[in-house]
Amino acid sequence: MRNFIQPGDSITIEAPAALESGEGLLVGQLFGVAATKVASGATVALSTAGVFDLPKEATTDTFSLGDPVEWDAVNKRVIALDSGHKIGVATGAAVATAGTVSVRLTA
């Protein structure tokens, strides 16, 4: 195919803010996990596929296998899907006191 660009499991973008390796980022409808630590404006590869342990609210939120999740960009954490953009589904249970939830990213 002459029009093929890349598989899409990772997208390289200019970071709109400083990012830590493993930090989630939502840009419009594109969500990914930063592969490296970068400064704002630097080029970063975002993983857009796979399963990642992502931070969640560690006092109230609970998740079960298959629960849809969205990204709270202000607090940089996963929350239950409400009215935002679905970034994936929980791949296991996460109790209220857990600091992370495993998420399979979806396009």
pLDDT in tens, 38-70: 999 999 999 999 999 999 988 889 999 999 999
Which pLDDT band, with edges at 50, 70 and 90, does 78 fall under?
Answer: very high
Instruction: Provide the whole-model pTM.
Output: 0.91
Predicted confidence band at 107 (pLDDT cuts at 50, 70, 90)? low
Look up residue 42 and give its DSSP letter: S
Give the tokens for residue 32.
């990914």
Place of tokens 């499991």: 9
The whole-angstrom separation of Cα 85 and Cα 49 is 16
- 3 state SS of 78: strand
